[in-house]
Amino acid sequence: MLTDNILIRDGHAQSAAEYENLPDLETFLGSNRGERLRISNNIDLGQVAMRLNSVKVISVDFPNFADGRGFSIARELRKKHGYQGLLIADGPLIPDQYVYALQCGFDAVKLDETTYGRQSESDWFDAMDRFRLTYQRGYAMRNGPEMSVFDARGTSLQPERENDPYFGLSAEMSIKRAIKEFGDTLVLASSMGADSAVLLHLAAQVNPHVKVIFLDTQKHFRETLHYRDMLVQDLGLTNLENITPKPSDVSEHDKNGNLFQNNPDLCCSIRKVDPLAEALRPYKARITGRKRYQTPERREMPIYETGGKMIKINPLAYWSAKDITAYMRKHDLPPHPMMSLGFLSIGCQPCTTRVSEGEDPRAGRWRNFDKTECGIHYIDGRWEKVERKKTFEAF
């Protein structure tokens, strides 16, 4: 049985005893012959550049798994300085990040027992599979072209791990644990939007009978409804429920169907928030596809989110746009048909526009309105600056 720190190399777990207590930069620079080195992720590599040819092992500190500066250090070591020795990422990385560590030039990840215990060794093998896939597709490798990673992640550098029991779990493990913990009181609400196929595929791999709710606002693109039917069939989902707004609410507030033009908050309320709240009432927890990089308001969103009437499980919270793309490519998942037309975040047809190059992916939602959320995840249809414990209150 492994004890103390663990080294993940080529997907395998082994003792990290050989790489403990590596000399720090000051000790290294003061020695005549240093072959091993431990550095921080904010080091000026110019301090060691002249001696890299003699260094066999470099360990780069990762204070927490949301701090991506170490990946830049690895790329600079490999690309700019041509370092060829063993490169170790030392810190609480998770399997979903392993492929990026490898792409940036790391050979291994060193973890403490607590972090390692949050997932199984199979998760690291799955990450190796993703790495081999990117290699076969010709993506960036150690000696390949420059690439940027984690630049879209936009996460807090101080994740509140003590408040998140799912902290450090991979997306698949988060779903597995949620299904085991909540059983029939767990539901997945899907918009069948731009990247919904990823979460639905993950859920289907764990349990194709997981309860899935689709909210038909009666204002969707036709392509979204076709996409829904295709995903359900292709992924083998067996427990989908379609819900719609109450006819009485639509008749009273939106008889002419143009409420979105003068009161988008109320439109979202009767077509989205209210019917979904009613449908979710029997459930204790729901799985969502939200990610931290999507909006500033989601920047510190945990995987296991409390504070509202329901617990929310956000398995993809720490995924970047590149993670989503890589997963869809690996599993040959069909993109939403509207994406090819420039729609990067897809909601109801009247309130969704194309996104121009350089714009935020959600810039096309409620354009020209002081509104960024429909209200399903926030308060009264918009983001409100309130105390953190109420930040993600939904219903």
Could you list the active site residues?
374
Q: At what angle do helices 196-206 and 321-330 cross, to 10 degrees?
A: 60
Rounded Cα distance, 360 and 302, in Å:
21
DSSP assignment of 225-286: HHHHHHHHHHHT---EEEE---HHHHHHH-TTS-HHHH-HHHHHIIIIIHHHHHHHTT-SEE
For residue 88, the cross-strand partners are 59, 108
Place of tokens 């398995």: 315
Rounded Cα distance, 89 and 292, in Å:
23
For residue 14, the cross-strand partners are 7
* Region of 11 on the Ramachandran plot (φ > 0 left; ψ -120 to 50 alpha; else beta): left
For residue 243, the cross-strand partners are 215
Q: What are phi and psi of 352, to 5 degrees?
A: -130, 125
